A and B are shown apart, each in its own frame.
Chain A
Amino acid sequence: MIDQAKSIPSPQRYLLHLAKSHPTFRIAELDSCACLYGFGIRLLATGDHYISGAYQPSSSNWGHELGSTSELEDAIGQGDSALLVIEFTTGQGVYKDSQSACVPVVDTQKTDDWARLLTQRCILVKSISHLFSPIPSSPNYKHLHDYMTPRRELWQRNEDEQKEFAFNLTGINKKIGFPRQRETIEGFAFMDLTSKINLKKPEVTYMLFEECKSSRHEDSSLDVDNLDSDTVAKGKAKLEEAVEGVKPLRVFMGSLVAYGQARQLVYKFAVKDRKFFGNTSMESEMSLLMAGQTLADQGKLVYDPFAGTGSLLYVCANWGSYVMGSDIDGRQMRGKGRQMCSVGRRPSDVLIELPRVILDKTGPGVFRAANQYGVRDKVLDCLTFDVTRNPWRRGEVLDAIITDPPYGVRAGAKRLGRKEGGKKKQILEPVKLPNGLWSHEMPGYIPASRPYEMVDLVYDLVVFARYMLVPGGRLVFFLPTFTEEWDPVDVPVVEGMREISFGQGSAQDYNKWSRRLITLEKVKVVDEEGKAKKWDAPTFVPLEADFTGMAINDGDVSGEEDAGPRKGQKLPGHANFRDKYLAGFPSSAPSTPPLRD
Chain B
Amino acid sequence: MVRLITHNMLTCHVKNCTKDNYPLVFQDAAVEIRPAEPNLGFIERFLPKLEWSALVSTAKALGDDSLPEVMPEDKEELRSEEFLTKLHHVLMELLAEHEVGR
Contact = CB atoms under 8 A, between A and B. Distances in A.
Q: Do A and B bind each other?
A: yes
A354 B39 contact: no
B49 A342 contact: no
A346 B17 CA distance: 10
Contacts of A377: 36-37
A365 to B, nearest CB: 14
A344 B22 CA distance: 11
A347 B51 contact: no
Contacts of A487: none
Interface string B81-102: 0000000000010001110100
Contacts of A343: 27
A345 B25 contact: yes
Contacts of A397: 9, 46, 49
A391 B10 contact: yes
A58 interface: no
Interface string B16-58: 0100111011111100000011010110011001010000000
Interface in A304-363: 322, 324, 338, 340-348, 352-355, 357-361
B95 to A, nearest CB: 9
A531 interface: no
A393 B11 contact: yes
Interface string B59-98: 0000000000000000000000000000000001000111
B1 A392 contact: no
A385 interface: yes
Nearest to B1: A359
Contact of B12 (A322, A359, A391): A391
Contact of B10 (A347, A353, A392): A392
A381 interface: yes
Task: Tell me the interface secondary structure of chain A in the complex.
Answer: loop
A561 interface: no
A338 B17 CA distance: 30
A146 interface: no
Given A380-B3, A381-B3, A393-B9, A344 B37 contact: no
Contacts of B29: 342
A383 interface: yes
A299 B49 contact: no
Given A355-B13, A359-B1, A393-B9, A347 B26 contact: no
Given A340-B100, A380-B3, A383-B6, A345 B13 contact: no
A355 B10 contact: yes
A119 to B, nearest CB: 25
Contacts of A596: none
B24 to A, nearest CB: 4
Contacts of A353: 14
A558 interface: no
A155 B1 CA distance: 59
Contact of A380 (B6, B14, B25, B96): B6
Nearest to B45: A299
A381 B27 contact: no
A389 interface: yes
Contacts, number: 97
Interface string A545-562: 000000000000000000
Nearest to B97: A359
A343 B13 CA distance: 13
B50 to A, nearest CB: 10
A289 to B, nearest CB: 25
A394 interface: yes
A352 B27 contact: no
Contact of A340 (B8, B10, B37, B98): B98
A68 interface: no
Nearest to A361: B97
A324 B6 contact: yes
A369 B46 CA distance: 27
A347 B1 CA distance: 20
A358 B100 CA distance: 13
A352 B6 contact: no
B42 A322 contact: yes
A280 interface: no
Contacts of A338: 100
Centre residue among A357, A358, A361 by max chain B CB count within 10 A: A357
B51 A393 contact: yes
Contact of A299 (B42, B96, B98): B42
A194 interface: no
Nearest to B51: A393
Contacts of B10: 354-355, 383, 391-393
A338 B101 CA distance: 12
A21 interface: no
B27 A346 contact: no
Interface in A371-387: 377, 380-381, 383, 385
A32 to B, nearest CB: 21
Given A359-B1, A377-B37, A381-B3, A394 B12 contact: no
B13 A381 contact: no
A396 interface: yes
B41 A299 contact: yes
A298 interface: yes
Contact of B11 (A348, A357, A391, A396): A391
Contacts of B2: 342, 357, 381
Contacts of B42: 298-301, 322
Contacts of A361: 97
Closest 5 A/B residue pairs (Cβ): A299-B42, A391-B13, A342-B98, A381-B6, A344-B24
Given A299-B41, A393-B22, 14 more contacts: A298-B41, A322-B42, A342-B26, A342-B27, A342-B28, A346-B25, A357-B2, A357-B98, A358-B1, A383-B10, A385-B13, A390-B13, A393-B10, A393-B51
8 contacts: A322-B39, A342-B26, A347-B20, A380-B92, A381-B3, A392-B11, A393-B8, A394-B9
